[in-house]
A and B are shown apart, each in its own frame.
Chain A
Amino acid sequence: MDAGLTHDEICEALGVARCVLDDYQLGHRKPSAREVQILRGFSLATPDREKNGAANNGETVGNRRSALPPLPASAETPVPNGKPRLGSPRQPGASRPGALLSLPFADQREIGLSADAARCALEDEDFPFEALSEVCEALSDHDRPAVLRTFRAIERDVSGEIRKFYQTKLPDGAVADVLYYFWVKQAECPSCASAIAFTQSSS
């Protein structure tokens, strides 16, 4: 939060109340993934830049090298008065340099796969961050044994803690896992205060 913005401007960009921002700063609450992405845009530094301590040359995607050319300076995010602008629409016809990849689940939009281009994409209010993450993940090198080891570690650490809330006792006393719980929405009748289930048969 050191990009020269006031707290109110940051709150406005994040869409949160001032007390929420205070909670973030005091460590009482963590920002969401979307807010982290926006905060990254404030610092005008990509995770790769932060990690490598050098300007990203547009060649890294995740931890894998690609043949993307560097992003020209002209395509950098406009920074009026030294402040990054969020939510401003991209200029019509603005070209996106470098190789492009279509995301079928991203409204047919195309995104450049360099970290800088991804940062430019933050300009879009409705940009699908999850889709970008998934594409970057798909193009990363994954160490299969490390992936499996990590899953086993997660399973060892938390599966029991979660599964205990999905267990039940059968009529014969045996304990079994619950696959699914079935719920029905119901409302309180304003006249008689009895609960009315929202099923077709009760209408």
Chain B
Amino acid sequence: MSVLRERHRLYAKLVLTAQGRKIYLEATAEDRALYESAEQELKQRENAFPVVPIEPGYNTNQALGYNYRFWHEMFNARQLLAISILADRVRRIEDRVLRELFTCLLSGALEFNNMFASYKGEGTGAVRHMFAHHILKPERVPLEANLWGTPKSSGSFSTMFESRIRRALDYADNPFELHVCERDGKKSVAKIHGLSDRI
């Protein structure tokens, strides 16, 4: 039985202009060359990512069934390169608590930045992360997000810093409880501050 050789083809991109407009464009030779340059840079990078076999298990057998043998195979070369750059920088944070905080943030960003992620469409977060369904199934049409991100990105390191870390700090400074109330005949939720001490 012959082995089916799989690969991915880049076919389109969603671009953010300087005026803040989003435009869908066809992928160009220049885009493919940029990806190849990321591949080259990854090859030159020492110890860029851990090479860890996927162990058999209830869920991991699903990925193994699709011929994924190592965890890093769930990412493309540009994703591995960007994650490696970011991880190396996070490792250099001297303060342990801060280092672990940003490690958690990077770990969260990984869910959105792999080749098992897909496109939800514009609106409430464009990236459907890899755990959106409870099976480790590769996407036929995966989405590669911008890991650092832009103000209009979903699942990026910079936007998740705003939406998770800053929000958590805000909550710790001024904790609140949720109170269900009615507004214009509809149920809504109001934040009640002052019931808990600052964390």
Chain B residues, Cβ within 8 Å of A198: 140-141
Task: Give A166 to B140 CA distance when docked, in angstroms.
Answer: 22
| Cβ contacts A to B, 7 pairs, < 8 Å | A28-B47, A62-B100, A170-B15, A170-B25, A179-B146, A184-B140, A186-B7
- Contact bitstring A166-198, B, C-beta under 8 A = 1, else 0: 111111001011111111111110100001011
A91 within 8 Å of B (CB atoms): no
Is the Cβ of A158 less than 8 Å from the Cβ of B140?
no
Bin the interface of chain A by size. Answer: 35 or more
Chain B residues, Cβ within 8 Å of A146: 95, 98
Interface of B is mostly: mixed
A137 within 8 Å of B (CB atoms): yes
Name B residues whose Cβ lies closer than 8 Å to a Cβ of A.
Answer: 2, 4-18, 22-23, 25, 27-28, 30-31, 34-35, 37-38, 47, 50-53, 55, 57, 76, 78, 81-82, 85-86, 89-90, 93, 95-98, 100-104, 107, 115, 119, 126-127, 138-148, 150, 152-153, 158, 161, 165, 168-169, 172-173
Is the Cβ of A166 less than 8 Å from the Cβ of B148?
yes
Is the Cβ of A184 less than 8 Å from the Cβ of B141?
yes
CB-contact partner of B11 in A136, A155, A184, under 8 A: A184
CB-contact partner of A162 in B15, B82, B141, under 8 A: B82
Question: A183-B142, A185-B8 in contact; A168/B17 too (CB < 8 A)?
Answer: no
